[in-house]
């Protein structure tokens, strides 16, 4: 799995999963599954365009984390990404999207794999 960490003016872009998705209505950084025939960067371009309707510039990998769910394992890789100058993201195939500060992350429910990776990268922990 790959995720785009997109920051603008001190706020990060997060998206909400659809009600019918696995782990419904939880929040996450935009991204998704890497297909066997593509690189992590190609997957990020495809998934971000699909989910929020804009293209990105993929930067450095920020970190990764392995998480075991009951039915499957996830290897999450997070990349620093930027939007193209005139890009205006919208919830193309996600339930919602928001720009939030790193402190506001604690106000949103994230899947365990995302939360652990965020905690590792940003030093955030829930009470």
Listed by start position, the domains of the chain span 2-121
- This prediction has a pTM of 0.87
Is the pLDDT at 89 greater than 90? The verdict is yes
Q: Which residue has the higher pLDDT, 32 or 67?
A: 32
What is the pLDDT, as a whole number, of residue 126? 46
CATH of 2-121, picked from 3.30.499.10, 3.40.50.1820, 3.40.50.2300, 3.90.79.10, is 3.90.79.10
The full 3-state SS of the chain, as one line of letters, equals: CEEEEEEECCEEEEEECCCCCCCCCCEECCEECCCCCCCHHHHHHHHHHHHHCCCEEEEEEEEEEEEECCCCEEEEEEEEEEECCCCCCCCCCCCEEEEECCHHHHHCCCCHHHHHHHHHHHCCCCC
Kindly indicate the confidence band of residue 110, based on its pLDDT and cuts at 50, 70 and 90. Answer: confident
């Amino acid at each position: 799995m790959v995720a785009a960490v997109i920051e603008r003016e001190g706020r990060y872009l997060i998206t909400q999963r659809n009600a019918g998705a696995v782990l419904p209505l939880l929040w996450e950084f935009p991204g998704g599954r890497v297909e066997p025939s593509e690189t992590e960067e190609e997957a990020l371009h495809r998934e971000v365009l699909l989910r929020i309707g804009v293209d990105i510039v993929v930067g450095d990998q920020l970190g990764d984390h392995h998480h075991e769910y009951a039915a499957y394992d996830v290897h999450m890789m997070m990349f620093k990404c930027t939007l193209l100058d005139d890009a205006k993201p919208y919830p193309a195939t996600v339930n919602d999207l928001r720009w939030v500060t790193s402190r506001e992350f604690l106000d949103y429910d994230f899947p365990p794999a995302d939360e652990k990776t965020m905690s590792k990268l940003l030093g955030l922990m829930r009470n």
